[in-house]
């Protein structure tokens, strides 16, 4: 099948994301207003490029663009970019972009390094032909994006909080938002991520499994790992309510949660066998 246009837009998006990441980091270092504006413009262009890639992919394949890692990673990059732009416009903090766009670019890099067969379009096998499958993946990936943002915020929080505590100063760290705001944003990202992750990965996944296989839960490794991830973020949300666990410990849990997410997304497909192995086929 023809996949020319989507590959073209993917390659374009790849270079745009690289440039966006460099500009945001540049803005963080030299803090020039024009550089900040250029970063935002380029971020919007990158987001649009990966969106066009998804549109053409859908047109070329005839199904929603999440049937393999190549497609779903691109979708992840798109969602996390939109989420980041919303935060930028709402909170007016551009330095965060250096971290989030790095995550987006690393995702693009990982996607581009996938074996060639992933770029090819495969027709959907019988189990995947369901609206529940599409809703399941769509919602789960909003969750992944939320967790990805939370990771960025948690890392920044830990750096910033360390400097605030020791009252030391460094021009790069001083330009990060106050730790209280980073903590709040990390929490908000987890909250959004957790809602969509629960809805998509667990509930809609269970609805789909029940339709396709006749059981809403079968302890398949992917299912189990999404539950593990859910336990970790549930722990995060409870930890934040407990006085001694707020701040640093919660930030570590958020980082641990994202590691679990990465394993859930990549590790399970390649390492552990199960119903979801079609993702690696």
> Shortest approach of other proteins to residue 133 CB, angstroms?
8
**Tokens at residue 77, please?**
């990059």
> Shortest approach of other proteins to residue 164 CB, angstroms?
17
Report how far residue 271's alpha carbon sits from residue 264's, in angstroms, rounded to the nearest whole number: 10
Q: How many CB atoms lie within 10 A of CB 238?
A: 12
Q: Which is nearer to other proteins, 110 or 199 (CB)?
A: 199
> Shortest approach of other proteins to residue 275 CB, angstroms?
12
Q: Which is nearer to other proteins, 43 or 232 (CB)?
A: 232
The DSSP-derived string for 187-235 is HHHHHHHHHHHIIIIIIIHHHHHHHHTS-S----HHHHHHHHHHHHHHH
What b/e sequence results for 102-122 when a residue is b if at least 16 CB atoms lie within 10 Å of its CB, and e otherwise? bbbbebbeebeeeeeebbebe
Contacts of 92 (CB under 8 A, 6+ apart): none
> Shortest approach of other proteins to residue 153 CB, angstroms?
13
> Shortest approach of other proteins to residue 12 CB, angstroms?
29
CA torsion 86-92-94-99 (nearest 10°) is: -50
Q: Which is nearer to other proteins, 170 or 178 (CB)?
A: 178
Report how far residue 216's alpha carbon sits from residue 226's, in angstroms, rounded to the nearest whole number: 14
- Residues lying near other proteins in the complex (CB under 8 A): 122-123, 125-127, 129-130, 132, 181, 184, 188, 191-192, 194-195, 198-199, 203, 206-208, 210-217, 219, 221, 224-225, 227-228, 231-232, 234-235, 238-239, 241-242, 245, 260, 268, 272
Q: Which is nearer to other proteins, 45 or 227 (CB)?
A: 227
Q: Which is nearer to other proteins, 111 or 229 (CB)?
A: 229
């Amino acid at each position: 099948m023809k996949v020319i246009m989507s590959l073209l837009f993917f390659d374009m998006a790849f270079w745009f994301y690289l440039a966006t990441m460099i500009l945001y980091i540049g803005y963080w270092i030299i803090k020039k207003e024009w550089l900040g504006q250029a970063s935002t413009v380029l971020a919007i262009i990158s987001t649009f490029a990966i969106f066009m890639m998804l549109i053409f992919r859908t047109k070329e394949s005839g199904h929603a663009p999440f049937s393999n890692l190549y497609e779903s990673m691109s979708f992840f990059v798109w969602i996390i970019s939109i989420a980041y732009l919303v935060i930028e416009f709402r909170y007016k903090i551009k330095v965060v972009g250096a971290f989030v766009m790095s995550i987006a670019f690393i995702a693009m890099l990982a996607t581009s390094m996938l074996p060639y067969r992933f770029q090819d379009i495969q027709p959907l096998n019988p189990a995947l032909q369901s609206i529940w499958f599409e809703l399941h993946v769509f919602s789960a990936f909003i969750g992944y994006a939320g967790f990805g943002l939370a990771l960025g915020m948690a890392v920044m929080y830990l750096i910033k909080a360390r400097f605030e505590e020791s009252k030391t100063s460094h021009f790069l760290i001083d330009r990060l938002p106050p730790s209280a705001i980073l903590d709040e944003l990390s929490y908000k990202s987890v909250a959004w991520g957790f809602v969509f992750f629960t809805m998509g990965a667990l509930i809609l996944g269970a609805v789909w499994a029940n339709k396709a296989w006749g059981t809403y839960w079968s302890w398949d490794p992917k299912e189990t790992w999404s539950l593990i991830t859910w336990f970790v973020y549930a722990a995060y949300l409870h930890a934040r309510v407990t006085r001694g666990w707020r701040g640093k410990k919660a930030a570590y849990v958020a980082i641990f949660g994202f590691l679990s997410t990465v394993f859930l997304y990549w590790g399970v497909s390649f390492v552990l066998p199960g119903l979801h192995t079609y993702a690696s086929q």
